[in-house]
Amino acid sequence: MLVGFGSYLPERIVTNDELSERLETSDEWIRGRTGIRQRHIVGDGETAVSMASRAAQRALDFAGIDPLEVDAVIVATSTPDQVFPATAVRVLHDLGIPNGFGFDVAAACSGFIYALSSADAFIRAGNAKCVVVIGSEVYSRILDWSDRGTAVLFGDGAGAVVIRASDDPGERGILATHLHADGATGDILYIDGAIGLPEQSGHLRMNGREVFRHAVGKLTSAVDEALQSAGLSYNDVSWLVPHQANIRIIEGVARKLQLPMERVVVTVDRHANTSAASIPLALDEAVRDGRIKQGDLVLMEALGGGLTWGSALVRL
């Protein structure tokens, strides 16, 4: 069951108006195409590890769980501070977890769904009883700030959940997860760089039109299979918590699912696209402000570079 929720956003906020001072763009242009009006950007000393650790600690505090009870930490990130050690291993140390294991998941914006599915599998297999799942991203460090097509879209932040095994879960907990990938579409959203390739920039590159073309159909298919596998319908969904990439994609999926926007958690306007952090950030906000309550059926979905995509169906 999901028993803890936490998040962390850097203090520095960059508005569309601020970006328009250095890019050929405007607040009207950005909001009209994406729904974004601001994003959070890391300051000095803030890293993927530091943000992940703060979000995780807040999730543990929410759940009332001591770090000594945690068996594993899984971090979804495409922007780690180091190639290795894994971000998750650094977080284990920060949280004071002496006997757990940890690893990172790199599935771009779908990373949190992939990590959540992995945690669920460990618990169902009896290999863990308490797992912290985190999405933490520092996209500001891989953006080409001269490219208005990508620079305006992303932000930094971290979100976390605590998943705990239950002897009597009943209808609560993770009901279904479904994961997909298609390497043939990898060139429409990627980072131009890797270890051993110094001639490349290391910046994010995206064919926005092609990503949008794939997004709504693939995401709708993923949530359909989640509901069908659980024997549920659109009417059973209390809340859709989607990856926060673009308001047009979010609205398109909601229409396909026949869900009013009043039942969709939207944070893209304030957070922009925080990749693997976007779903847990939105989930934490909606739980803490009382919108999402115990017993609600929550549907999550994401699509990212790879292309990777997936869905998760959770009864809180």
pLDDT digit string, tens, across residues 231-277? 999 999 999 999 999 999 999 999 988 999 999 999 999 999 999 99
Distance CA 88, CA 177 (A): 22
End-of-domain residue from the set 134, 164, 194: 164
In order of 29, 102, 179, the CA distances from 122 in angstroms are 45, 12, 16
End-of-domain residue from the set 164, 182, 205: 164
The pTM for the full model equals 0.96
Same domain, 224 and 196: yes
The verdict on whether 109 is a catalytic residue reads: yes
Distance CA 127, CA 59 (A): 21
Same domain, 9 and 122: yes
Same domain, 133 and 255: no
Same domain, 68 and 89: yes
Same domain, 212 and 299: yes
Same domain, 247 and 113: no
CATH number for 191 = 3.40.47.10
Specify whether the CB–CB gap between 45 and 34 falls below 8 A: no
The verdict on whether 243 is a catalytic residue reads: yes
Same domain, 216 and 248: yes
Same domain, 301 and 253: yes
Q: How far is CA 275 from the centre of its chain?
A: 5
Catalytic pick from 16, 109, 246, 271?
Answer: 109
Task: Write the DSSP symbol of residue 306.
Answer: T
Please name which of 280, 2, 267, 20 lies closest in space to residue 160, comparing C-alpha atoms. Answer: 280
Looking only at the bridges linking them, the beta strands covering 297-304 and 308-315 are antiparallel
Backbone torsions φ then ψ of 312, nearest 5 degrees: -140, 135
Neighbours of 201 (CB within 10 A): 12
Backbone torsions φ then ψ of 67, nearest 5 degrees: -55, -25
Same domain, 89 and 236: no
pLDDT digit string, tens, across residues 68-120? 999 999 999 999 999 999 999 999 999 999 889 999 999 999 999 999 999 99
Same domain, 115 and 195: no
Residues of the chain by 3-state class (helix, strand, coil), percent to 5: 40, 25, 35
pLDDT greater than 90 at residue 166: no
Backbone torsions φ then ψ of 137, nearest 5 degrees: -140, 140
Same domain, 153 and 17: yes
Beta pairing partners, 38: 15
The verdict on whether 127 is a catalytic residue reads: no
Range of the domain at 219: 173-315
End-of-domain residue from the set 164, 188, 210: 164
**Residues 6+ away with beta carbon under 8 Å from 154:** 39, 139, 140, 143, 204, 272, 273, 274, 275
Q: How many domains does the chain have?
A: 2
Backbone torsions φ then ψ of 54, nearest 5 degrees: -70, -45
Confidence grade of residue 13 (pLDDT, cut at 50, 70, 90): very high
Same domain, 102 and 39: yes
Catalytic pick from 40, 178, 203, 243?
Answer: 243
Distance CA 296, CA 315 (A): 6
